[in-house]
Each structure stands twice: as structure tokens, then as C-alpha cells.
């Protein structure tokens, strides 16, 4: 689906891409956020001529902040006590900030995260947005439960994967021409410099202390970003083959 010349502007090589039927996987560690974002937009155009294909990106990024279109809106009868990001703080941030198209407010990325960007055409009869999000969360939860994480839920009124009252994973999706991009960030390893930077902020409108990571809830387990990625790819291949 991609030529070497297609990949070069995004700091990708053919070795970063592998196809399994209609699933095209891209795996890139420590990927510059701006390059990754540009590649997602490039994939949107590619899927116009290959609508059956799904480009599934697994990656992480150097420390960076992103800000979406706005915080989650309450449904009828809900009260969400969320704090909007103050743009005046932009000049004080220790890491780059990108304004992007996805839903949600300010969030953060760092090398200790597992990030999944599904770029695919939605179909009301085959794969709706709600089904896609549910399946991503289900696969992620299954792997974490296999690792020994307990008390996981996606039933919180605020979208994400929660362990009790602490958040492990966030989801923010954008859609153009029925094609999704952006996606899920799961905190596998704590990043202390990023957590220190978040003390003055409210990621997703929440206190920074709301966020935790897998290594914090499983302190005695040997964890690996590659091991999680391998399990995730295997399960998504089975679900979306």
C-alpha cells in the first residue's frame, strides 16, 4: 500500500510497515508527533482509493501535549466537573503543544505510553464508531487482566479505561469522510518529568493525580511495551480480520 518514497517524509521505512490482508500495521517507537500526525492525514487520502484497507498504527512519542476540539460534553442529567485548558499557559509548558482535530481537551504523550491510531472507514452495518471504540477497549482490558490488573472499567461517565477512580487510558477520535484517525493512549510506564509538568494542568479536564500507569498498579511485574504491542496486534488481527 505504501512505497518507500511514500514513507520517507514521515521518518518511516518499509521495515516499519507490515500487511496482513486488509490490515496494514505501522509500528514506530519514539516517533516525532508532528510526523505521526502528518502521516495520519496522508493515510486518510490513501483510504479514499483503498476503502477496504485499515491502517493501524502502534507507536509512542517523545514528551508532547495535544489539545483537541473541546472537553467531553455532559449528557442530559449529567454534571461533569471538568476544567478547561487555559491557552495563556501555553507559553509556560515545558514540552511542545499541538492543536489537533480529535475530540477531547488537553492531553499528554510520552515514551512510556502505548498509542494506537486506527485509520479506517466506518460502516454502520459492519463497524460503527461505538463498536470500534468498544473493541479497542475490550482488547486492551483483556491484555491488562491477563497481566494481573484488576478492577478495570470503561463504564465511567468519562471515556477511558479506569482502575477504580484512576485513569489508565484515554481515547480521542476524529472522523473525516467516515474515516477515523487519532485514537487511544495507554499509560504503561510512569514518566516522572511529564507527571511533574501535569501538576499545573488538567489533562482531559481532570486533576493530574487522576492518572496512573500499569507499572504503578503492578509494581512487581516485569513489563514490556513490545510484549503489550505483540498481544494487542494479535488480538486486533483476530477481531478485525
Catalytic residue flag (residue 43) = no
As a whole number of angstroms, the distance between CA 9 and CA 1 comes to 16
- What is the 3-state composition of the chain as percent helix, strand, coil, each rounded to the nearest 5? 35, 30, 35
As a whole number of angstroms, the distance between CA 39 and CA 53 comes to 15
Note the helical H segments in the chain: 4-7, 33-49, 129-147, 192-198, 214-217, 225-240
Task: Answer whether 97's CB lies under 8 Å from 68's CB.
Answer: no
- 174: nearest Cα among 44, 48, 60: 44
Task: Answer whether 144's CB lies under 8 Å from 152's CB.
Answer: yes
- In the set 120, 159, 204, 206, the catalytic residue is 204
Residue entry with cell 479505561 = 161
Beta bridge mates, 174: 181
Q: How many CA atoms lie within 13 A of 78 on its CB side?
A: 11
Burial of 222 (0-12, 13-18, 19+ CB in 10 A): exposed
Catalytic residue list: 204
Amino acid at each position: 500500500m505504501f512505497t518507500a518514497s511514500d514513507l520517507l517524509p514521515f521518518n518511516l521505512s518499509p521495515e516499519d510497515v507490515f500487511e496482513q490482508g486488509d490490515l496494514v500495521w505501522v509500528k514506530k517507537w519514539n516517533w516525532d508527533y508532528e510526523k505521526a500526525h502528518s502521516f495520519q492525514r496522508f493515510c486518510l487520502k490513501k483510504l479514499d482509493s483503498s476503502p477496504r484497507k485499515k491502517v493501524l498504527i502502534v507507536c509512542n512519542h517523545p514528551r508532547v501535549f495535544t489539545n483537541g476540539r473541546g472537553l467531553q460534553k455532559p449528557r442530559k442529567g449529567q454534571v461533569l466537573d471538568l476544567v478547561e485548558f487555559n491557552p495563556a499557559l501555553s507559553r509556560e509548558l515545558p514540552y511542545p503543544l499541538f492543536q489537533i482535530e480529535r475530540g477531547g481537551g488537553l492531553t499528554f504523550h510520552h515514551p512510556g505510553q502505548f498509542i494506537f491510531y486506527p485509520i479506517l472507514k466506518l460502516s454502520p452495518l459492519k463497524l460503527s464508531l461505538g463498536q470500534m471504540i468498544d473493541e479497542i477497549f475490550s482488547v486492551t482490558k483483556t491484555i491488562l487482566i491477563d497481566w494481573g490488573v484488576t478492577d478495570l472499567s470503561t463504564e465511567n461517565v468519562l471515556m477511558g479505561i479506569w482502575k477504580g477512580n484512576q485513569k489508565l487510558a484515554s481515547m480521542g477520535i476524529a472522523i473525516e469522510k467516515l474515516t477515523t484517525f487519532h485514537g487511544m493512549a495507554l499509560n504503561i510506564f510512569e514518566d516522572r518529568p511529564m507527571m511533574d509538568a501535569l501538576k499545573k494542568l488538567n489533562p482531559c479536564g481532570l486533576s493530574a493525580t487522576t492518572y496512573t500507569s500499569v507499572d504503578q498498579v503492578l509494581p512487581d511485574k516485569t513489563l514490556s511495551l513490545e510484549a503489550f504491542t505483540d498481544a494487542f496486534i494479535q488480538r486486533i488481527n483476530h477481531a478485525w480480520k
